[in-house]
Amino acid sequence: MRTNSRRTVLTGFGVLSPIGSTPDALWQALVAGTSGIRTVTLFDASELPTHIAGEVPDFSAKAFIDKSYRRSLNAMARTVELGVIGAQFAIQNAGITKGTISPQRIGIEFASLMGATDLNDMAGASKIASPDGQTVNMTAWGSPGLNEIAPLWMLKYLPNMPACHTTILHDIQGPSNTQIPGDTAGLIALAEAARIIRRGTADVMVVGSSESRINPVSMTRFNLFLQMSKRNDDPTHAIRPFDATRDGTVPGEGSAVFTLEDLTHAHARNANILGEVVGWAMGVDRGKKGPGLARVIRNALTSAGVHPTDIDHVNAHGTGSTLGDAFEARGIAEVFGRDTPVFAPLSRFGNMGAASSLMELACSVFALKNGQLPGTLNHEKPAADCPIAVHTGALRTVTKPYALKVTYTDLGQCAAVVVRKWDS
């Protein structure tokens, strides 16, 4: 049950995604069954085995950021830009402007990872240290080569940079932290922000996530070490959650940022409430067998004070990988069996890593708010090793007030959050 009387509600949302970069556009794309997976255009990926991804189209941070802060874009990689603009959108969507909230009473929790270096940032030093392209002279790298690397190079890629720039830009002086445990980072950031509000340390928290995986370094690494779908000729059907014909995942990029707020504070300023965060849990399923994930799910339900029968739908990670989907399905089935619909939205925009869980959660927040659950794309032949009831096809009427969001990492870290439809 709740351990503190301060309730935490979602009062704003900012989004940059392959299928829509406003809350309304995202929802309409979900309803329409739109896919954002397409051939990579940010660089020439044609020689890679998998060269499709979920890109944010026509993104330009310069078009949105305050003019006085534009020079700082030189020290931002694309992941950081996505996070900073996503946070700006979320703050604006919540109706918050500088001076309306004490800077000490608003904080930030962000989910992001170390960004992959743009090749051009290392090109000069690499040419000096390895003129033949075969061997590396470390002495040359450390002396004349180092002079070719921009002094602020590291600051472009550090995972705490989205939070750092956002606090400066919006004068956020409350608690500030960055979470980095991969795909679970967004839910962990949300849970920590809720704890901060419940213990009275802040009244408003910006809870965000961003990642861009569409670059030569990341895409090469994924093709080498992850199970990637090879459906390059049919990208919109590439990610097939819990399907018998699934053959891997596809990377994506984007930013999903919520404003989380104490309910009394939200009422006092007549904020628009999107939903309520009522419970959460984290843990590890070492070996990714299923019982550990099931334990995390049960702990989240207990934290929210609800039972499996109270849940309208489970929002799954559903990456389309053979082993990952089977593991996740086992954990979900242990708690819900086939009685609760499972919704897996990742197939629409790709695996965004640190940005995935909040992007996926947003889909359920809007489903609860609008009273309709979109269908899962590309689930056509239920897999025998995924004993769950995946919702597909037409919109389904939401019949219960709660949804559960589940996610995990390749190392077996697990997280779950329960959100409630807002009605009072």
pLDDT in the model for residue 4: 55
Query: Quick one: angle between helices 291-304 and 322-336, nearest 10?
Result: 50
CA pseudo-torsion sign 389, 391, 392, 397: positive
pLDDT in the model for residue 277: 98
pLDDT in the model for residue 133: 85
User: Which single residue is written with the structure tokens 């049950």?
Assistant: 1
Please tell me the CATH code under which domain 8-118+153-268 is placed.
Answer: 3.40.47.10
Question: What does each of the 424 residues of the chain score in pLDDT, given as a tens digit?
Answer: 344 579 999 999 999 999 999 999 999 999 999 999 999 999 999 999 999 999 999 999 999 999 989 999 999 999 999 999 999 999 999 999 988 999 999 999 999 999 888 888 888 999 999 998 889 999 998 989 889 888 888 899 999 999 999 999 999 999 999 999 999 999 999 999 999 999 999 999 999 999 999 999 999 999 999 999 999 999 999 999 999 999 999 999 999 999 999 999 999 999 999 999 999 999 999 999 999 999 999 999 999 999 999 999 999 999 999 999 999 999 999 999 999 999 999 999 999 999 999 999 999 999 999 999 999 999 999 999 999 999 999 999 999 999 999 999 999 999 999 999 999 6
Cα-to-chain-centroid distance, residue 112: 9
Q: Number of C-alpha atoms within 13 angstroms, CB side, residue 180?
A: 11
Angle at 406 between CA 400 and CA 409, to 5 degrees: 175
Cα-to-chain-centroid distance, residue 223: 21
How many Cβ atoms are within 10 Å of 118's Cβ, its own excluded?
Answer: 17
Please tell me the CATH code under which domain 279-420 is placed.
Answer: 3.40.47.10
Q: Do domains 8-118+153-268 and 279-420 have the same CATH topology?
A: yes
pLDDT in the model for residue 239: 98
The two structure tokens encoding residue 210 = 């961003």
pLDDT in the model for residue 197: 98
CB proximity list for 245: less than 8 A, separation 6 or greater: 380, 381
The DSSP code sequence of 229-275 is ---TTSGGG---TTBTT---B-BBEEEEEEEEEEHHHHHHTTPPP-E
The residues spanned by each domain of the chain are 8-118+153-268, 119-148, 279-420
The two structure tokens encoding residue 211 = 């990642």
Scanning 260-403, the segments in alpha helix (DSSP H) are: 263-268, 291-304, 322-336, 356-370
pLDDT in the model for residue 352: 97
pLDDT in the model for residue 106: 98
